[in-house]
Structure 1
Amino acid sequence: MKEMDRLFGSSISRRSFIAAMAAGMASAAMDCMDWTRIQALAAAVEPKSAYPVVVIGAGMGGLTAAAYLARSGFPVTVIEQHDTPGGYATSFGRAGGEFVFEVSPHYTVGAAQYLEDLGIRDRVELIALPEYCRVVTPDYDLIFPQQNPGEIIKLLSEKFPQEAEGIRGLIGQLMSLFQELRQPIDPKTIASTHPTMWSMSNQTVAQFMNKYVQDSKLKAILFALGPALGLPPSKLPALAYAGGTAPYMVAGKVRIKGHARDASLVFVDVIQRRGGRVILKTEVETILTKEGSVVGVKTADGKTHAAKAVVSNASAPATFEKMLAPGVLPDGYMAKLRTCRPSISSIKVWLGLKEELRGRIRGYQIAVAEGYDLEASHGASLAVDASKAPFGVFVYDNAYPGYSKPGKSSVSLVMLCGYEPWRKFEADYFAGRKEAYQKEKDRITQMLIERTEARVIAGLKSMIEVVDAATPLTNMTYTRNPEGAIVGYESSMSNFGMTRIKNRTPVKGLYLAGHWGEPGGGFVTVMKSGQSTFKMMMEDWGQKTG
């Protein structure tokens, strides 16, 4: 039981729970680790050759962990089943390179610290986006400014004067949380030193919002300002919403200049320049163990790679249920894992246009909603009702001049969706029989294009030169994420913070890095996951050498 508590945090005081959860949130937003201590631990682990590491998967969580290891002198081998590194952080070309489309990320915050740690800050350029976001509803079309919570309060108060006091109170709470996340945390005094965090800790977003505002239209707009975690306000933890919204609102959103795949390749270069290896198009079939400890991995081609530690950036279900032999993990641990649910998935539509949109269409990130009932909207997403589900429009050329070639524009449409409506296509899809699936994908693609034309980009259909689309089954094909999950396990009230699966597993030497473990999904969040796993490894190895 004590082992389960350590790994899942199931028996822990509320004060300790919030303190640990807040520490993770804070370090994800602004790195606060004692790197002098971690670097000293890494330097003391000798000889480095006795500590080979295999990283399963070249998503950003895996690449980040591997880059930290390689920079510290440890021999590391990254093994990726796909032919391209990066996981969801990648890009692809169409029409002979006329257009380059992003899978993700569309925006981020807080990535600079990790780039500086790894010595690549000058190789991955981050640029501030022109605005926080644009929100389009049946009654409103609002542009929210970057790094200006006061202006956001003013804008919303002008539209909802009867809610002005509540708007100030709610956004004031977000700002208070942001400040609290920057302060040291002592579980004994957290209720008094971090009152905002304390009050939010056992609330859903719905409960949090209801304390301040009542207008359903206002609530829908406020919810659109938060992170897309795929749960409705009744199920999403208030701290997940607030902790994901406040840093963007204060620090501002940025994106990579260029393409995500270029950034992923920079991480690969860091690993290789320090003597590490990145092996593509190779699948790890088995994590090898002996007497409860990791000893290596075996790949589908029959090769064995010895390892002192294995970091899995693969999905948690694949790691624990397919790669490990039965009986290696405690029954209680497996039972707990099976209570976790994969997150929501998505449909993405990429459009290459034969006209320039920059200066003609307002906004880079545009959230579009058909109504204000957030629970019903979530239901439409789960049901893949493309006529009613909210979706996002990303006009890449509004991020900075020159994203697309002269005379062209690149746009993506993103709709969160459930997996169940796609399950009926699964067997045929993976058997190569895609006729019915393709018909449904095309229907949804056209519906999203029509809604975008009606609400955001007039005349869109006449501009289209290239169309491509991806569904949850596409996600499964390229990333192997169960049900096409886009942020690992869902961040529900029972699976957030200290109750989320830990990166240090019951198998000695086996760690996780990425969105299935802690702290969760998102571009910079999985970078934080990889960094945290490196820290855990140094602490574990440092104890032996110390």
Structure 2
Amino acid sequence: MSAALFGRLGYSVCVLEMDARPGGYIAGFNRLDYRFDSAIHWLNQCGKNGLVTQAFSFIGNDFPKAAVQHKIRRYHVNEYDYLVTTDVDAFKRQLQQDFPEDYNGIERFFRDARRIGTSFENFRFINRNMSTMNIWEKMKRGIQMLRFVIPFIPHVRFSGEEGVKKGLKRYFTHPKLLELFGSEPDLLSCLIPIAWTYIQDYQTPPPGGSQTFAEWLEYVSRTYQNDIRFKSRVSRISIENGVATGVEYENRGQLYKVEGKYIIAACDVKNLYEKYLPQGIAHPDLLKRLDNAELYASAFTLSLALDCTGEELGFGEEILYIADATLNRNKLGNGDPETSGIHVISGSVRDKSLAPEGKGTLTIFIPSFIEQYENWGTTLDAKGNYKRGTDYKDTKQKVADILIERLERELNIDLRSHIVYLDIATPITHQRYTGNRNGTMMGARPGKSNMQAKVAHYKTPVSNVFLSGHWAELGGGIPVAVRAAMNSTLLVLKKENKLAFRLLADYMDGKLTADSVNQSTLVRPYANDWQQKPTPAEKVQRKKQQVNTSDQVEN
């Protein structure tokens, strides 16, 4: 994202990507004639007024468009089966019908969620980091943030096993209602999904999957003649007299160096300080705080190609959550395939371009951790890399079999006989392809301890090296990564080009429109001529159509 922004503003950029394709967790992958989204299962801030749309619109209007997701989440929890849709009050009424003794509490729960949603909607332009502001802007932002967080404040203290129960008991008395929401890590995690639903801030990935976002950004960067070097693994950042002068990296067994005035590191923060920057640059206290940071779990993910459609097996566009709510929160999230809550999505129900006609895709995942099963049956080589062998393959297949059997049992379906292809990704997989510590999916968790430890940051001890990506913020996902990209870009522009800085800052603050940006002499023209490439399934369908057309001509 930063590369596309810098290109738009007239700067020369070189992107070093360790994978063979752009996107990190949203890169996705193709198998046979199927396409799978590797990480994106729902989207926020990609609607008409969302941050992601705003950021992309600074560049152009030909970016992939996400659509409102109307069927959002299905709770298959014990004897209950609830579907949450954009008509979220229907969900409220259903709960009030099933739990009449908690009628008023349910009303208050949804009222509080709506207030949080209204706050999200009313304060859309608060994405600039404080380090990009002058004193007056900081004062104004402080007042805005205070007004923004008011609906959140009564709920912040309810976290952890007992905290969530205590918070929910302010609304509910029935044990089943407490169980329905009790798997979340804190009370706000129960309320915010409902809040997003009230303001219709759930979107499905654009046609072709979430990887099209990365493909568009790659196209924009190349349009501005900027370099993107894949399969390029950074080895160190060169420092002279306390200033970074370039990056050394390995590509296909050869060592290279690229020089640059500024370096933005959208990578694992510990790798930045312990591997890429010289030893001693980061204060030991900072390294200790990063070591102790609370991170999101990794994931164990099954990607299934099916010989039938997802609809034929009973799946819809919504995320299906299956859990035994009588279990405590730890058992629902500890990575045990026998007890962990399972998320299931059929991407091909939402997007027919992901699978051949009459067939489908299914993604099954649970939270997972790299230390499980003695590091998933791997061993470490001399460089500290995980070596995968027979034990690794057997271990992940055993876990996959348990999950498939649970799904078949819970939904009373025959899934296994419809599997054409099965891809199994473990935390080892996620770490190998992204470089993120322990394969974490979204970096550092939002929360009191990480905030107090100042885990999230943009500025490093080297004045021209900035952190970006989800490690620069607390939380993860596309909106966080986009916000980090815009803020790290601003920090460079603040030093390099005051006029361009003001243009982007005012745009982020909602003071300028995309049309105003297009009229500015500070940006380079963009033709809005990106053409999306067909998916494997679309290629197959086009070939069939060509054959049929040819046959008709011959006849």
Hey, what's the Cα distance between the residues in 2 that align with 1:152 and 1:497? 37
Shift of 1:334: 2.5
Q: Which residue of 2 aligns with 1:353?
A: 306
Q: Please list every run of 5 or more consecutive structure 2 residues that lacks an aligned counterpart in the other structure.
A: 47-52, 127-139, 503-555
Hey, what's the Cα distance between the residues in 2 that align with 1:416 and 1:509? 36
Q: Is 1:139–2:79 an aligned residue pair?
A: yes
Q: Which residue of 1 aligns with 2:62?
A: 122
Q: 1:217 to 1:538 in 2, by over 3 A?
A: farther
Q: Is 1:406–2:357 an aligned residue pair?
A: yes
Shift of 1:450: 1.1
Q: Which residue of 2 aligns with 1:296?
A: 246
- Note the 1:22-421 alignment, pairs <5 A: 64-95=1-32, 98-111=33-46, 112-119=53-60, 121-146=61-86, 148-181=87-120, 182-183=122-123, 187=142, 195-204=150-159, 206=164, 207-222=166-181, 233=185, 236=186, 238-239=187-188, 242-243=191-192, 246-254=195-203, 255-300=205-250, 301-358=254-311, 361-364=314-317, 365-378=319-332, 381-382=333-334, 384-421=335-372
Shift of 1:524: 2.2
Q: Is the 8 A contact 2:95 2:106 kept in 1?
A: yes
Hey, what's the Cα distance between the residues in 1 that align with 2:305 and 2:263? 41
Q: Which residue of 2 aligns with 1:15?
A: none
Q: Is the 8 A contact 1:329 1:507 kept in 2?
A: no
Q: Is the 8 A contact 1:66 1:78 kept in 2?
A: yes
Q: 1:485 to 1:455 in 2, by over 3 A?
A: same
What are the Cα deviations for residues 125-160 of structure 1, in whole angstroms up to 9, with x where unaligned?
3122240111101111111112x3322321222222
Which one-letter code corresponds to 2:28 in the other structure? Answer: S
Shift of 1:337: 2.1
Q: CA RMSD in A?
A: 2.7
Shift of 1:451: 1.4
Q: Is the 8 A contact 2:244 2:464 kept in 1?
A: yes
Q: Which residue of 1 aligns with 2:443?
A: 488
Shift of 1:218: 2.0
SS in 2 for 1:444: helix
Shift of 1:497: 8.9
What are the Cα deviations for residues 199-248 of structure 1, in whole angstroms up to 9, with x where unaligned?
23444261543322244432343367xxxxxxx53xx4x55664565224
Q: Is the 8 A contact 1:520 1:526 kept in 2?
A: no
Q: Is the 8 A contact 1:422 1:472 kept in 2?
A: no
SS in 1 for 2:379: helix
SS in 2 for 1:270: helix
Q: Is the 8 A contact 2:293 2:450 kept in 1?
A: yes
Q: Which residue of 2 aligns with 1:54?
A: none
Q: Is the 8 A contact 2:118 2:199 kept in 1?
A: no
Matched pairs, number:
466
Q: Is the 8 A contact 1:386 1:447 kept in 2?
A: yes
Q: Is the 8 A contact 2:304 2:423 kept in 1?
A: yes
Q: Which of 362, 376, 379 is the aligned partner of 1:427?
A: 379
Hey, what's the Cα distance between the residues in 1 that align with 2:146 and 2:257? 51
Q: 1:245 to 1:303 in 2, by over 3 A?
A: farther
Q: Name the TM-score, length of structure 2 as normaliser.
A: 0.77
Shift of 1:453: 1.4
Hey, what's the Cα distance between the residues in 1 that align with 2:147 and 2:447? 26
SS in 2 for 1:211: coil
Hey, what's the Cα distance between the residues in 2 that align with 1:333 and 1:347? 30
Which one-letter code corresponds to 2:45 in the other structure? Answer: G
What are the Cα deviations for residues 175-209 of structure 1, in whole angstroms up to 9, with x where unaligned?
21222342487646976785323323444261543
Hey, what's the Cα distance between the residues in 1 that align with 2:386 and 2:144? 58
Hey, what's the Cα distance between the residues in 1 that align with 2:146 and 2:316? 40
Which one-letter code corresponds to 2:235 in the other structure? Answer: E
Q: Is the 8 A contact 1:130 1:399 kept in 2?
A: no
SS in 2 for 1:283: strand
Hey, what's the Cα distance between the residues in 2 that align with 1:507 and 1:423? 38
Q: 1:510 to 1:203 in 2, by over 3 A?
A: farther
Q: Is the 8 A contact 2:289 2:453 kept in 1?
A: no
What are the Cα deviations for residues 459-511 of structure 1, in whole angstroms up to 9, with x where unaligned?
11221111111000111111111211111123343115994411222321111
Which one-letter code corresponds to 1:363 in the other structure? Answer: G
Hey, what's the Cα distance between the residues in 2 that align with 1:244 and 1:500? 25
Q: Which of 398, 407, 428 is the aligned partner of 1:473?
A: 428
Q: 1:433 to 1:106 in 2, by over 3 A?
A: closer
Q: Is the 8 A contact 1:502 1:517 kept in 2?
A: yes
Q: Is the 8 A contact 1:80 1:283 kept in 2?
A: yes
Which one-letter code corresponds to 1:290 in the other structure? Answer: E
Hey, what's the Cα distance between the residues in 2 that align with 1:412 and 1:193? 36
Hey, what's the Cα distance between the residues in 2 that align with 1:198 and 1:221? 23
Q: Name the TM-score, length of structure 1 as normaliser.
A: 0.79
Which one-letter code corresponds to 2:227 in the other structure? Answer: R
Q: Is the 8 A contact 1:127 1:257 kept in 2?
A: no
Q: Which residue of 2 aligns with 1:520?
A: 475
Q: 1:420 to 1:249 in 2, by over 3 A?
A: farther
Largest Rg, 1 or 2: 2
Q: Please list every run of 5 or more consecutive structure 1 residues that lacks an aligned counterpart in the other structure.
A: 1-63, 225-231
Q: Is the 8 A contact 1:355 1:409 kept in 2?
A: yes
Shift of 1:354: 0.8
Hey, what's the Cα distance between the residues in 2 that align with 1:170 and 1:316? 38
Moved more, 493-502 or 102-111: 493-502
Hey, what's the Cα distance between the residues in 1 that align with 2:96 and 2:454? 37
Q: 1:190 to 1:527 in 2, by over 3 A?
A: closer
Q: Which residue of 2 aligns with 1:505?
A: 460
Q: Is 1:461–2:401 an aligned residue pair?
A: no
Moved more, 303-312 or 152-161: 152-161
Q: Is the 8 A contact 1:88 1:104 kept in 2?
A: yes
